[in-house]
Chains A and B, each alone.
Chain A
Amino acid sequence: MLEIKKITVRYGENPPVLEDFSLLVRRGEIVAIVGESGSGKTTVIRAVLGNLPGDGRVTKGDILFEGRSLLSLNREEWRRLRGTQISMIFQDSGAMMNPTRSVGAQFVEYIRAHSGLTKNEAREKSLEMLSSVRLPDPERVMKSYPFELSGGMRQRVGIAMALAFRPKLLLADEPTSALDVTTQAQIVRQMTLQKKESDAAMILITHNLALAAYMSDHIIVLKDGKVVDSGSRDHILRRPESGYTKNLLAAVPAVKGARYV
Protein backbone atom coordinates (compact mmCIF):
# COMPACT_ATOMS: atom_id res chain seq x y z
CA MET A 1 0.00 0.00 0.00
CA LEU A 2 2.50 2.59 1.17
CA GLU A 3 6.21 2.15 1.10
CA ILE A 4 8.63 4.72 2.38
CA LYS A 5 12.13 3.97 1.15
CA LYS A 6 14.98 5.41 3.14
CA ILE A 7 13.88 9.01 3.06
CA THR A 8 15.83 11.91 4.49
CA VAL A 9 14.03 15.17 5.20
CA ARG A 10 15.77 18.50 5.71
CA TYR A 11 14.66 22.05 6.24
CA GLY A 12 16.90 24.38 4.23
CA GLU A 13 20.51 23.61 4.92
CA ASN A 14 19.89 22.48 8.49
CA PRO A 15 20.84 18.97 9.57
CA PRO A 16 18.19 16.41 8.59
CA VAL A 17 15.17 16.10 10.89
CA LEU A 18 14.50 12.62 9.60
CA GLU A 19 17.20 10.29 8.33
CA ASP A 20 17.06 7.04 6.36
CA PHE A 21 13.49 6.40 7.38
CA SER A 22 11.75 3.38 5.89
CA LEU A 23 8.30 2.02 6.48
CA LEU A 24 5.94 -0.45 4.87
CA VAL A 25 2.20 -0.56 5.51
CA ARG A 26 0.07 -3.24 3.94
CA ARG A 27 -3.68 -3.20 3.40
CA GLY A 28 -5.56 -3.41 6.68
CA GLU A 29 -2.43 -2.97 8.74
CA ILE A 30 -1.64 -0.38 11.39
CA VAL A 31 1.90 0.85 11.82
CA ALA A 32 2.58 3.05 14.83
CA ILE A 33 5.34 5.60 15.03
CA VAL A 34 6.26 6.36 18.61
CA GLY A 35 8.58 9.04 19.84
CA GLU A 36 8.83 12.09 22.03
CA SER A 37 8.39 15.68 20.92
CA GLY A 38 10.89 16.68 18.27
CA SER A 39 11.60 13.11 17.24
CA GLY A 40 10.32 13.67 13.72
CA LYS A 41 7.13 11.64 13.87
CA THR A 42 4.90 14.37 12.46
CA THR A 43 7.47 15.02 9.75
CA VAL A 44 6.87 11.49 8.44
CA ILE A 45 3.16 12.19 7.98
CA ARG A 46 3.79 15.58 6.45
CA ALA A 47 6.24 14.04 4.00
CA VAL A 48 3.67 11.41 2.99
CA LEU A 49 1.05 14.10 2.47
CA GLY A 50 3.51 16.22 0.52
CA ASN A 51 3.10 19.26 2.70
CA LEU A 52 6.30 19.78 4.56
CA PRO A 53 6.21 23.34 5.87
CA GLY A 54 8.56 26.12 4.76
CA ASP A 55 11.59 24.95 2.87
CA GLY A 56 11.32 21.37 4.05
CA ARG A 57 11.95 18.74 1.40
CA VAL A 58 12.72 15.07 0.93
CA THR A 59 16.37 15.03 -0.12
CA LYS A 60 16.89 11.29 -0.45
CA GLY A 61 14.77 8.18 -0.90
CA ASP A 62 11.27 7.74 -2.26
CA ILE A 63 7.68 7.38 -1.08
CA LEU A 64 5.52 4.94 -3.05
CA PHE A 65 1.75 4.79 -2.74
CA GLU A 66 0.36 1.76 -4.57
CA GLY A 67 3.58 1.58 -6.53
CA ARG A 68 3.49 5.23 -7.63
CA SER A 69 6.01 7.77 -6.38
CA LEU A 70 4.39 10.57 -4.41
CA LEU A 71 7.36 12.84 -4.72
CA SER A 72 6.75 13.70 -8.36
CA LEU A 73 3.03 14.49 -8.20
CA ASN A 74 1.74 17.84 -9.40
CA ARG A 75 -0.87 19.93 -7.63
CA GLU A 76 -3.84 18.44 -9.43
CA GLU A 77 -2.71 14.89 -8.80
CA TRP A 78 -2.23 15.69 -5.12
CA ARG A 79 -5.69 17.22 -4.95
CA ARG A 80 -7.22 14.04 -6.26
CA LEU A 81 -5.31 11.90 -3.80
CA ARG A 82 -5.56 13.85 -0.57
CA GLY A 83 -8.83 13.70 1.29
CA THR A 84 -10.08 10.76 -0.73
CA GLN A 85 -7.46 8.03 -1.01
CA ILE A 86 -5.21 9.32 1.73
CA SER A 87 -6.86 11.13 4.59
CA MET A 88 -5.91 12.43 7.93
CA ILE A 89 -7.24 12.37 11.50
CA PHE A 90 -5.88 15.26 13.51
CA GLN A 91 -5.10 15.58 17.18
CA ASP A 92 -7.85 18.13 17.66
CA SER A 93 -10.42 17.89 14.93
CA GLY A 94 -12.06 21.01 16.34
CA ALA A 95 -9.02 23.07 15.45
CA MET A 96 -9.12 21.72 11.90
CA MET A 97 -12.60 23.15 11.37
CA ASN A 98 -13.63 26.73 10.80
CA PRO A 99 -15.07 27.99 14.08
CA THR A 100 -17.51 30.34 12.38
CA ARG A 101 -19.29 27.75 10.24
CA SER A 102 -21.46 24.85 11.26
CA VAL A 103 -20.10 21.31 11.19
CA GLY A 104 -22.66 20.34 8.55
CA ALA A 105 -21.73 23.15 6.15
CA GLN A 106 -18.08 22.14 6.36
CA PHE A 107 -18.77 18.44 5.98
CA VAL A 108 -20.93 19.05 2.91
CA GLU A 109 -18.32 21.37 1.43
CA TYR A 110 -15.62 18.77 1.98
CA ILE A 111 -17.63 16.04 0.29
CA ARG A 112 -18.55 18.23 -2.66
CA ALA A 113 -14.97 19.40 -3.14
CA HIS A 114 -14.01 15.81 -3.79
CA SER A 115 -17.03 14.47 -5.64
CA GLY A 116 -19.78 15.48 -7.99
CA LEU A 117 -22.54 15.02 -5.42
CA THR A 118 -25.33 17.56 -5.06
CA LYS A 119 -25.85 19.43 -1.84
CA ASN A 120 -28.61 17.09 -0.71
CA GLU A 121 -26.69 13.96 -1.57
CA ALA A 122 -23.65 15.30 0.25
CA ARG A 123 -25.86 16.07 3.24
CA GLU A 124 -27.23 12.52 3.24
CA LYS A 125 -23.73 11.15 3.07
CA SER A 126 -22.57 13.39 5.93
CA LEU A 127 -25.43 12.20 8.11
CA GLU A 128 -24.69 8.61 7.26
CA MET A 129 -21.02 9.03 8.14
CA LEU A 130 -21.83 10.78 11.40
CA SER A 131 -24.12 7.99 12.49
CA SER A 132 -21.55 5.39 11.47
CA VAL A 133 -19.18 6.75 14.09
CA ARG A 134 -22.04 6.48 16.57
CA LEU A 135 -22.61 10.14 17.17
CA PRO A 136 -25.97 10.53 18.84
CA ASP A 137 -28.38 12.80 16.99
CA PRO A 138 -26.39 13.50 13.79
CA GLU A 139 -28.92 16.11 12.67
CA ARG A 140 -28.10 18.22 15.69
CA VAL A 141 -24.35 17.72 15.22
CA MET A 142 -24.67 19.00 11.64
CA LYS A 143 -26.26 22.21 12.88
CA SER A 144 -23.72 22.71 15.67
CA TYR A 145 -20.63 24.85 15.56
CA PRO A 146 -17.38 23.09 16.44
CA PHE A 147 -17.11 24.78 19.86
CA GLU A 148 -20.54 23.48 20.83
CA LEU A 149 -19.35 19.89 20.67
CA SER A 150 -17.27 18.11 23.29
CA GLY A 151 -13.73 17.04 22.48
CA GLY A 152 -14.81 13.43 22.00
CA MET A 153 -17.67 14.40 19.68
CA ARG A 154 -15.37 16.62 17.61
CA GLN A 155 -12.95 13.75 17.30
CA ARG A 156 -15.76 11.51 16.07
CA VAL A 157 -16.66 14.15 13.49
CA GLY A 158 -13.00 14.19 12.43
CA ILE A 159 -13.01 10.42 12.03
CA ALA A 160 -16.28 10.52 10.09
CA MET A 161 -14.83 13.09 7.71
CA ALA A 162 -11.58 11.19 7.28
CA LEU A 163 -13.50 8.03 6.42
CA ALA A 164 -16.04 9.65 4.09
CA PHE A 165 -14.36 8.47 0.91
CA ARG A 166 -13.21 5.09 2.21
CA PRO A 167 -9.54 6.06 2.01
CA LYS A 168 -6.93 3.43 1.40
CA LEU A 169 -4.54 5.06 3.78
CA LEU A 170 -5.37 6.85 7.01
CA LEU A 171 -2.86 9.05 8.75
CA ALA A 172 -3.66 9.66 12.40
CA ASP A 173 -1.55 12.18 14.29
CA GLU A 174 -2.07 11.78 18.05
CA PRO A 175 -5.80 11.14 17.48
CA THR A 176 -6.64 10.64 21.16
CA SER A 177 -4.04 12.67 23.00
CA ALA A 178 -6.32 15.61 23.68
CA LEU A 179 -9.12 13.47 25.07
CA ASP A 180 -10.15 12.30 28.51
CA VAL A 181 -9.30 8.70 29.29
CA THR A 182 -12.77 7.23 29.05
CA THR A 183 -13.33 9.13 25.80
CA GLN A 184 -9.95 7.99 24.54
CA ALA A 185 -10.96 4.39 25.11
CA GLN A 186 -14.21 4.97 23.19
CA ILE A 187 -12.43 6.61 20.25
CA VAL A 188 -9.84 3.84 20.13
CA ARG A 189 -12.64 1.29 20.07
CA GLN A 190 -14.32 3.25 17.29
CA MET A 191 -11.12 3.35 15.24
CA THR A 192 -10.46 -0.36 15.66
CA LEU A 193 -14.02 -1.12 14.65
CA GLN A 194 -13.83 1.14 11.60
CA LYS A 195 -10.53 -0.38 10.61
CA LYS A 196 -12.03 -3.88 10.66
CA GLU A 197 -14.84 -2.75 8.38
CA SER A 198 -12.92 -0.65 5.91
CA ASP A 199 -9.73 -2.60 5.49
CA ALA A 200 -7.76 0.66 5.23
CA ALA A 201 -4.12 0.88 6.13
CA MET A 202 -3.17 3.28 8.87
CA ILE A 203 -0.15 5.11 10.19
CA LEU A 204 -0.67 6.04 13.81
CA ILE A 205 1.52 8.68 15.37
CA THR A 206 1.52 8.70 19.13
CA HIS A 207 3.70 9.36 22.13
CA ASN A 208 1.81 6.70 24.06
CA LEU A 209 3.64 3.39 23.75
CA ALA A 210 0.86 1.43 25.40
CA LEU A 211 -1.70 2.78 22.96
CA ALA A 212 0.63 1.99 20.05
CA ALA A 213 1.05 -1.53 21.37
CA TYR A 214 -2.68 -1.95 21.72
CA MET A 215 -3.63 -0.71 18.28
CA SER A 216 -0.86 -1.58 15.89
CA ASP A 217 0.74 -4.52 14.17
CA HIS A 218 4.14 -2.94 13.87
CA ILE A 219 5.85 -0.27 15.99
CA ILE A 220 8.63 2.08 14.98
CA VAL A 221 10.43 4.01 17.72
CA LEU A 222 11.92 7.30 16.58
CA LYS A 223 14.44 9.46 18.34
CA ASP A 224 15.94 12.64 16.91
CA GLY A 225 14.91 11.65 13.41
CA LYS A 226 16.44 8.20 13.54
CA VAL A 227 14.74 4.84 13.93
CA VAL A 228 16.04 3.28 17.14
CA ASP A 229 13.74 0.25 17.20
CA SER A 230 11.32 -1.32 14.81
CA GLY A 231 9.35 -4.52 15.04
CA SER A 232 6.23 -6.31 16.19
CA ARG A 233 4.57 -5.47 19.49
CA ASP A 234 6.18 -8.40 21.24
CA HIS A 235 9.55 -7.48 19.88
CA ILE A 236 9.32 -3.88 21.07
CA LEU A 237 7.83 -4.64 24.47
CA ARG A 238 9.75 -7.77 25.40
CA ARG A 239 13.00 -7.57 23.50
CA PRO A 240 13.74 -3.94 22.68
CA GLU A 241 17.13 -3.42 21.15
CA SER A 242 17.92 0.13 22.13
CA GLY A 243 18.40 1.56 25.59
CA TYR A 244 16.15 4.42 24.56
CA THR A 245 13.15 2.13 24.04
CA LYS A 246 13.86 0.49 27.39
CA ASN A 247 13.80 3.87 29.12
CA LEU A 248 10.64 4.81 27.32
CA LEU A 249 8.99 1.57 28.40
CA ALA A 250 10.04 2.15 31.99
CA ALA A 251 8.59 5.67 31.96
CA VAL A 252 5.04 4.65 31.02
CA PRO A 253 2.98 4.94 34.19
CA ALA A 254 1.01 1.83 35.07
CA VAL A 255 -1.72 1.26 37.60
CA LYS A 256 0.16 -1.74 38.89
CA GLY A 257 3.49 0.00 38.43
CA ALA A 258 6.11 1.49 40.70
CA ARG A 259 5.25 4.19 43.21
CA TYR A 260 7.61 6.89 44.36
CA VAL A 261 6.04 7.54 47.73
Chain B
Amino acid sequence: MSEEREKIIRVENVTKEYAVSASRSLIACDNISLPFFRGQTLGIVGESGCGKSTLMRLLLGVERPTSGKIIFRGQNICDLKGEALRRHRQRIQMVFQDPSEAFHPKMKIKEILCEPLLNFRLIRKSEMKAKAAELLTMVELSPDLAERYPHALSGGQRQRIGIARALALEPEVLICDESTSALDVSVQKKIVELLCRLQREKDLTIGFICHDIALVHSCAHTLAVMYLGSVVELLPCGDIEETARHPYTKALLSAVFDLEMDFTKEIDSIESEAPSPLNRPDGCPFRNRCPRQKEICGREKPPLRSVAPDHFAACHLLF
Protein backbone atom coordinates (compact mmCIF):
# COMPACT_ATOMS: atom_id res chain seq x y z
CA MET B 1 0.00 0.00 0.00
CA SER B 2 2.73 2.42 0.92
CA GLU B 3 4.66 1.92 -2.33
CA GLU B 4 2.00 3.36 -4.56
CA ARG B 5 1.55 6.56 -2.60
CA GLU B 6 3.88 9.36 -3.60
CA LYS B 7 5.67 11.03 -0.71
CA ILE B 8 5.42 14.71 -1.51
CA ILE B 9 7.29 15.82 1.58
CA ARG B 10 9.73 13.83 3.67
CA VAL B 11 10.65 15.26 7.01
CA GLU B 12 13.92 13.57 7.92
CA ASN B 13 15.43 13.66 11.40
CA VAL B 14 14.46 17.28 11.92
CA THR B 15 15.48 18.91 15.17
CA LYS B 16 14.78 22.49 16.12
CA GLU B 17 16.39 24.07 19.13
CA TYR B 18 15.94 27.56 20.43
CA ALA B 19 18.64 29.04 22.61
CA VAL B 20 17.11 30.25 25.85
CA SER B 21 20.34 31.40 27.41
CA ALA B 22 24.00 30.73 26.86
CA SER B 23 23.84 27.35 28.52
CA ARG B 24 20.27 26.20 28.00
CA SER B 25 18.26 25.45 24.93
CA LEU B 26 14.70 24.47 24.28
CA ILE B 27 14.24 21.52 21.97
CA ALA B 28 10.93 22.19 20.26
CA CYS B 29 11.23 19.35 17.75
CA ASP B 30 13.43 16.38 18.53
CA ASN B 31 14.57 14.23 15.64
CA ILE B 32 11.27 14.09 13.82
CA SER B 33 10.72 12.05 10.68
CA LEU B 34 7.35 12.12 8.95
CA PRO B 35 6.03 11.44 5.47
CA PHE B 36 3.36 13.52 3.74
CA PHE B 37 1.59 11.54 1.04
CA ARG B 38 0.25 13.30 -2.01
CA GLY B 39 -3.47 13.98 -1.89
CA GLN B 40 -3.80 12.84 1.70
CA THR B 41 -4.16 14.45 5.07
CA LEU B 42 -1.62 13.98 7.82
CA GLY B 43 -3.24 14.87 11.11
CA ILE B 44 -0.93 16.03 13.87
CA VAL B 45 -2.30 15.90 17.40
CA GLY B 46 -0.69 16.93 20.62
CA GLU B 47 -1.12 19.27 23.52
CA SER B 48 0.27 22.78 23.90
CA GLY B 49 4.02 22.89 23.76
CA CYS B 50 4.48 19.57 21.97
CA GLY B 51 6.13 21.25 18.99
CA LYS B 52 3.40 20.80 16.42
CA SER B 53 3.33 24.45 15.39
CA THR B 54 7.12 24.62 15.26
CA LEU B 55 7.08 21.68 12.89
CA MET B 56 4.63 23.49 10.65
CA ARG B 57 6.74 26.65 10.67
CA LEU B 58 9.68 24.55 9.55
CA LEU B 59 7.63 23.09 6.71
CA LEU B 60 6.59 26.54 5.59
CA GLY B 61 10.19 27.71 5.60
CA VAL B 62 9.48 30.41 8.17
CA GLU B 63 12.11 28.85 10.42
CA ARG B 64 15.08 26.66 9.64
CA PRO B 65 15.77 23.42 11.48
CA THR B 66 18.85 23.12 13.65
CA SER B 67 19.56 19.81 11.95
CA GLY B 68 17.82 17.44 9.58
CA LYS B 69 16.24 17.80 6.18
CA ILE B 70 12.85 18.55 4.75
CA ILE B 71 12.67 17.12 1.25
CA PHE B 72 9.92 18.57 -0.91
CA ARG B 73 9.77 16.90 -4.32
CA GLY B 74 13.40 15.85 -4.09
CA GLN B 75 14.67 19.23 -2.98
CA ASN B 76 15.82 20.11 0.52
CA ILE B 77 13.80 23.22 1.31
CA CYS B 78 15.92 24.06 4.29
CA ASP B 79 18.69 25.22 1.95
CA LEU B 80 16.51 27.56 -0.08
CA LYS B 81 17.30 31.26 0.00
CA GLY B 82 16.10 34.49 -1.51
CA GLU B 83 14.06 34.25 -4.67
CA ALA B 84 14.03 30.43 -4.67
CA LEU B 85 12.53 30.44 -1.17
CA ARG B 86 9.98 33.02 -2.21
CA ARG B 87 8.98 30.87 -5.17
CA HIS B 88 8.80 27.80 -2.96
CA ARG B 89 6.26 29.46 -0.71
CA GLN B 90 3.71 29.36 -3.48
CA ARG B 91 3.66 25.62 -3.15
CA ILE B 92 2.96 25.36 0.57
CA GLN B 93 0.30 27.64 1.98
CA MET B 94 -1.20 28.05 5.40
CA VAL B 95 -4.61 28.53 7.01
CA PHE B 96 -4.38 30.17 10.41
CA GLN B 97 -6.18 29.51 13.65
CA ASP B 98 -7.97 32.75 14.31
CA PRO B 99 -9.68 34.08 11.20
CA SER B 100 -10.42 37.39 12.91
CA GLU B 101 -6.74 38.16 13.33
CA ALA B 102 -5.38 36.70 10.12
CA PHE B 103 -6.52 39.56 7.91
CA HIS B 104 -5.78 43.24 7.70
CA PRO B 105 -8.96 44.87 9.00
CA LYS B 106 -8.82 47.68 6.46
CA MET B 107 -8.48 45.50 3.38
CA LYS B 108 -11.54 44.44 1.45
CA ILE B 109 -12.13 40.72 0.98
CA LYS B 110 -11.18 40.91 -2.69
CA GLU B 111 -7.88 42.59 -1.81
CA ILE B 112 -7.20 39.93 0.82
CA LEU B 113 -7.93 37.15 -1.64
CA CYS B 114 -5.94 38.60 -4.51
CA GLU B 115 -2.92 39.89 -2.60
CA PRO B 116 -0.89 36.68 -2.98
CA LEU B 117 -1.72 36.54 -6.69
CA LEU B 118 -0.68 40.15 -7.24
CA ASN B 119 2.45 39.54 -5.22
CA PHE B 120 3.51 36.75 -7.54
CA ARG B 121 2.27 38.73 -10.57
CA LEU B 122 -0.13 36.00 -11.57
CA ILE B 123 -3.04 38.34 -12.27
CA ARG B 124 -3.47 42.00 -13.13
CA LYS B 125 -5.36 44.44 -10.96
CA SER B 126 -8.12 44.58 -13.56
CA GLU B 127 -8.71 40.85 -13.08
CA MET B 128 -9.16 41.07 -9.31
CA LYS B 129 -12.91 41.18 -9.29
CA ALA B 130 -13.34 38.09 -11.44
CA LYS B 131 -10.69 36.14 -9.54
CA ALA B 132 -12.16 37.06 -6.16
CA ALA B 133 -15.58 35.90 -7.33
CA GLU B 134 -14.11 32.62 -8.51
CA LEU B 135 -12.32 32.02 -5.20
CA LEU B 136 -15.40 32.91 -3.17
CA THR B 137 -17.52 30.48 -5.17
CA MET B 138 -14.92 27.77 -4.59
CA VAL B 139 -15.40 28.05 -0.83
CA GLU B 140 -19.19 28.22 -1.16
CA LEU B 141 -19.55 31.91 -0.41
CA SER B 142 -21.46 34.54 -2.33
CA PRO B 143 -19.29 36.66 -4.71
CA ASP B 144 -21.03 39.72 -3.24
CA LEU B 145 -18.78 39.45 -0.19
CA ALA B 146 -15.81 40.66 -2.27
CA GLU B 147 -16.47 44.30 -1.46
CA ARG B 148 -16.92 43.78 2.27
CA TYR B 149 -14.42 44.08 5.10
CA PRO B 150 -13.44 41.13 7.33
CA HIS B 151 -15.31 42.44 10.39
CA ALA B 152 -18.61 42.21 8.53
CA LEU B 153 -18.24 38.42 8.20
CA SER B 154 -18.97 35.64 10.66
CA GLY B 155 -16.19 33.42 12.01
CA GLY B 156 -17.08 30.58 9.67
CA GLN B 157 -17.18 32.88 6.64
CA ARG B 158 -13.84 34.37 7.60
CA GLN B 159 -12.26 30.94 7.89
CA ARG B 160 -13.55 30.14 4.39
CA ILE B 161 -11.84 33.34 3.21
CA GLY B 162 -8.68 32.10 4.91
CA ILE B 163 -8.90 28.84 2.99
CA ALA B 164 -9.66 30.64 -0.27
CA ARG B 165 -6.66 32.92 0.19
CA ALA B 166 -4.38 30.00 0.95
CA LEU B 167 -5.60 28.16 -2.16
CA ALA B 168 -5.40 31.22 -4.44
CA LEU B 169 -1.87 30.31 -5.47
CA GLU B 170 -2.90 26.72 -6.16
CA PRO B 171 -0.41 25.25 -3.72
CA GLU B 172 0.31 21.55 -3.57
CA VAL B 173 0.33 21.48 0.21
CA LEU B 174 -2.01 23.20 2.61
CA ILE B 175 -1.11 23.53 6.26
CA CYS B 176 -3.99 24.09 8.67
CA ASP B 177 -2.78 25.06 12.12
CA GLU B 178 -5.74 24.67 14.51
CA SER B 179 -7.85 26.12 11.71
CA THR B 180 -11.12 25.00 13.22
CA SER B 181 -10.39 25.50 16.91
CA ALA B 182 -11.88 28.97 17.17
CA LEU B 183 -15.14 27.95 15.54
CA ASP B 184 -18.44 26.61 16.80
CA VAL B 185 -18.91 22.86 16.37
CA SER B 186 -21.46 23.06 13.59
CA VAL B 187 -19.27 25.52 11.67
CA GLN B 188 -16.25 23.37 12.40
CA LYS B 189 -17.93 20.41 10.78
CA LYS B 190 -18.73 22.41 7.64
CA ILE B 191 -15.15 23.69 7.35
CA VAL B 192 -13.80 20.16 7.64
CA GLU B 193 -16.23 19.00 4.96
CA LEU B 194 -15.11 21.86 2.73
CA LEU B 195 -11.44 20.97 3.21
CA CYS B 196 -12.14 17.34 2.36
CA ARG B 197 -14.03 18.30 -0.80
CA LEU B 198 -11.26 20.65 -1.95
CA GLN B 199 -8.72 17.96 -1.23
CA ARG B 200 -10.51 15.50 -3.52
CA GLU B 201 -10.97 18.07 -6.28
CA LYS B 202 -7.45 19.45 -6.25
CA ASP B 203 -5.48 16.45 -5.06
CA LEU B 204 -4.26 18.57 -2.16
CA THR B 205 -1.91 17.36 0.49
CA ILE B 206 -3.00 18.66 3.87
CA GLY B 207 -1.17 18.95 7.15
CA PHE B 208 -3.92 19.26 9.74
CA ILE B 209 -2.76 20.31 13.17
CA CYS B 210 -5.29 20.10 15.91
CA HIS B 211 -5.53 19.30 19.59
CA ASP B 212 -8.85 17.50 19.13
CA ILE B 213 -8.08 13.88 18.36
CA ALA B 214 -11.71 13.09 17.53
CA LEU B 215 -11.85 15.82 14.93
CA VAL B 216 -8.51 14.87 13.36
CA HIS B 217 -9.70 11.30 13.18
CA SER B 218 -12.70 12.41 11.16
CA CYS B 219 -10.66 14.01 8.40
CA ALA B 220 -7.12 12.59 8.31
CA HIS B 221 -5.65 9.57 6.52
CA THR B 222 -2.70 9.26 8.84
CA LEU B 223 -2.38 10.42 12.40
CA ALA B 224 0.83 11.56 14.06
CA VAL B 225 0.74 11.99 17.82
CA MET B 226 3.34 14.36 19.24
CA TYR B 227 4.50 14.70 22.79
CA LEU B 228 7.19 17.08 24.05
CA GLY B 229 8.84 17.53 20.69
CA SER B 230 8.76 13.89 19.60
CA VAL B 231 6.43 11.89 17.43
CA VAL B 232 5.34 9.09 19.73
CA GLU B 233 2.96 7.31 17.40
CA LEU B 234 2.21 7.35 13.69
CA LEU B 235 -0.78 5.29 12.62
CA PRO B 236 -3.35 4.91 9.87
CA CYS B 237 -6.41 6.84 10.88
CA GLY B 238 -8.95 4.05 10.83
CA ASP B 239 -10.26 2.51 13.97
CA ILE B 240 -7.80 4.32 16.24
CA GLU B 241 -9.56 3.41 19.44
CA GLU B 242 -8.76 -0.21 18.72
CA THR B 243 -5.39 0.15 17.08
CA ALA B 244 -3.63 2.85 19.14
CA ARG B 245 -0.73 1.37 21.08
CA HIS B 246 1.18 4.18 22.73
CA PRO B 247 0.03 4.97 26.29
CA TYR B 248 -0.11 8.69 25.50
CA THR B 249 -2.37 8.16 22.47
CA LYS B 250 -4.59 5.99 24.64
CA ALA B 251 -4.67 8.67 27.32
CA LEU B 252 -5.69 11.27 24.74
CA LEU B 253 -8.45 9.01 23.48
CA SER B 254 -9.81 8.29 26.92
CA ALA B 255 -9.91 11.99 27.80
CA VAL B 256 -12.25 12.84 24.93
CA PHE B 257 -15.77 13.82 25.86
CA ASP B 258 -18.13 12.53 23.22
CA LEU B 259 -21.75 11.66 23.10
CA GLU B 260 -21.18 7.92 22.98
CA MET B 261 -19.26 7.83 26.24
CA ASP B 262 -20.49 6.17 29.38
CA PHE B 263 -21.74 9.13 31.41
CA THR B 264 -21.88 7.23 34.64
CA LYS B 265 -18.23 6.31 34.55
CA GLU B 266 -15.64 8.65 35.90
CA ILE B 267 -13.63 10.32 33.15
CA ASP B 268 -10.27 8.75 32.79
CA SER B 269 -7.13 10.77 32.39
CA ILE B 270 -3.48 10.60 33.17
CA GLU B 271 -2.45 12.61 36.15
CA SER B 272 -0.16 15.65 36.18
CA GLU B 273 0.72 17.79 33.25
CA ALA B 274 3.31 17.63 30.52
CA PRO B 275 6.65 18.91 31.76
CA SER B 276 7.98 22.10 30.22
CA PRO B 277 10.01 21.51 27.06
CA LEU B 278 12.82 23.29 28.88
CA ASN B 279 12.86 20.57 31.43
CA ARG B 280 12.43 17.34 29.54
CA PRO B 281 12.98 14.08 31.35
CA ASP B 282 15.79 11.80 30.20
CA GLY B 283 14.82 8.72 28.31
CA CYS B 284 11.22 8.47 27.25
CA PRO B 285 9.62 11.95 27.23
CA PHE B 286 6.35 10.50 28.48
CA ARG B 287 7.73 8.42 31.32
CA ASN B 288 6.82 10.62 34.29
CA ARG B 289 3.15 10.45 33.34
CA CYS B 290 3.14 6.89 32.12
CA PRO B 291 1.16 4.45 34.25
CA ARG B 292 3.45 1.56 33.36
CA GLN B 293 6.88 3.08 33.58
CA LYS B 294 9.84 0.66 33.73
CA GLU B 295 13.49 1.01 34.48
CA ILE B 296 14.54 1.11 30.81
CA CYS B 297 12.25 4.10 30.16
CA GLY B 298 14.50 6.38 32.18
CA ARG B 299 17.65 5.21 30.45
CA GLU B 300 16.87 5.33 26.75
CA LYS B 301 14.59 7.35 24.59
CA PRO B 302 12.49 4.84 22.65
CA PRO B 303 12.77 5.16 18.87
CA LEU B 304 9.76 5.02 16.57
CA ARG B 305 9.44 1.36 15.62
CA SER B 306 7.02 -0.51 13.42
CA VAL B 307 4.28 -2.32 15.35
CA ALA B 308 2.06 -3.15 12.38
CA PRO B 309 2.03 -2.27 8.67
CA ASP B 310 2.19 1.55 8.36
CA HIS B 311 1.93 1.82 12.11
CA PHE B 312 4.80 3.04 14.28
CA ALA B 313 5.08 3.70 17.99
CA ALA B 314 7.85 4.90 20.27
CA CYS B 315 7.46 2.92 23.46
CA HIS B 316 9.70 0.41 25.22
CA LEU B 317 6.75 -1.46 26.64
CA LEU B 318 5.53 -2.62 23.26
CA PHE B 319 8.62 -4.64 22.43
Contact = CB atoms under 8 A, between A and B. Distances in A.
Interface stretch (B1-9, B269-277, B302-310): B269-277
Contacts of B240: 255
Contacts of B221: 261
Contacts of A260: 192-193, 196, 218-219
B251 A210 contact: no
16 contacts: A36-B184, A153-B273, A181-B47, A181-B252, A182-B273, A185-B254, A186-B269, A213-B259, A214-B263, A237-B259, A253-B214, A253-B215, A254-B256, A254-B259, A257-B214, A261-B219
Chain B interface size band reads: 35 or more
Contacts of B278: none
B258 A210 contact: yes
A251 interface: yes
Interface of A: 36-37, 136, 150-153, 180-186, 188-189, 192, 207-211, 213-214, 233, 237, 247-261
B186 A259 contact: no
B241 interface: yes
Nearest to B276: A150
Contact of A255 (B187, B189, B214): B214
Contact of A258 (B47, B218, B255, B274): B218
Contacts, number: 127
B273 A253 contact: no
A141 to B, nearest CB: 13
Contacts of A252: 185, 258-259
Contacts of A188: 257, 267
A36 B261 contact: no
Contacts of B186: 36, 247-248, 251
Given A253-B189, A254-B256, 7 more contacts: A152-B273, A186-B269, A249-B259, A253-B188, A256-B241, A259-B237, A261-B237
B263 A182 contact: no
